[in-house]
Copies of this chain bind each other. A is one copy, B any other.
Amino acid sequence: MTDASAAEPPAAELRVWGISGLPEITPGDHLPRLVADAARRAGVEPGDILAVTSKIVSKAEGRIVHAADREQAITDETVRVVATRARADGGTTRIVENRLGLVMAAAGVDASNTADGTVLLLPLDPDASAAAIRAAVEACVGTPVGVVITDTAGRAWREGQTDIVIGASGVRLLDDLRGSRDAAGKLLEVTAPAVGDEIAAAADLVKGKASGIPVAAVRGLARLLDDDAPGARSLVRPHADDMFSIGSREAYEDGYRAGFSAHAPEDRDRVEE
């Protein structure tokens, strides 16, 4: 049987609610069990998707470093520098690709909602964390359940931040409509809604930043549950395919140096000697 789900009608209704009752998470806590208990008490059922803020995953994993080591932590998490800009406070904002493939300010190293003098690193393997939480929740409330791990990210071209998916288990994140037809019968050639990020965004509307509610449940998207769905890296565009793989100023400066050298091959030879 071919996968016909992309052409299914979308959910008629979505319900998104915050899951309260989780204790303050500290290193070593068994997060999957704590989330599963809270999810059961909050009425989570098979077919639901849980959106878990990465912060509590990081805390349970003990991914905490001293704030004094923040700049070094950002460097350690960095695979590739995408853009930098001097801040008014004398520091430098670094937009980088981190080891998860995510392009984020400060590599996703976060100083909010942590104890004074500390910063939080992103979870080591968010897909694995999502799978562990999913297994615990399914054991508790029944199967299937989907889990996404979310974090907050800025965007090019637009103000403000939205939540995105950085880890996932059991959820189709890209609702690939290429090959299916719209209501007028036309082929939807280039359309692939990033439903994973849309779920993260919807969940953020009930979790909020100032509330301390770190988990939300989403009901009405059982069509996206898929045991074989790939992890969160499937939403990362490889930087070779990306028209915005480095900042405009950085690209300009690279080009300037290349143009300058190209005009003066003798100079370049001299430098290389």
What residues of chain A have their CB less than 8 Å away from a CB belonging to chain B? Answer: 6-7, 9-18, 83, 85, 95, 102-103, 111-116, 152, 155-164, 173-175, 177, 180-184, 186, 188, 191-195, 197-199, 201-202, 204-213, 220-221, 234-237, 239, 242-264, 266-267
Contacts and interface: CB of A to CB of B under 8 A. Distances in A.
A92 to B, nearest CB: 12
A113 B14 CA distance: 24
Nearest to A216: B14
Nearest to A208: B10
29 contacts: A10-B205, A10-B207, A10-B208, A12-B17, A14-B202, A14-B206, A83-B243, A103-B157, A156-B237, A156-B242, A157-B236, A159-B236, A160-B174, A161-B193, A162-B197, A193-B208, A195-B205, A202-B205, A205-B221, A244-B247, A246-B248, A248-B251, A251-B251, A253-B255, A255-B257, A255-B259, A256-B256, A259-B261, A264-B267
Nearest to A197: B162
B237 A158 contact: yes
- Please indicate which of the listed interface residues A163, A251, A258, A262 has the most CB atoms of chain B within 10 Å of its own CB: A251
B195 A113 contact: no
B249 A248 contact: no
A219 to B, nearest CB: 10
Nearest to A264: B263
B249 A252 contact: no
Contacts of A85: 243
Contacts of A162: 162, 193-194, 197-198, 201
4 interchain residue pairs of minimum CB distance: A255-B255, A259-B259, A160-B194, A10-B208
Contacts of A252: 251-252, 254-255, 258
Given A113-B186, A199-B205, A160 B192 contact: yes
A244 B255 contact: no
B18 A234 contact: no
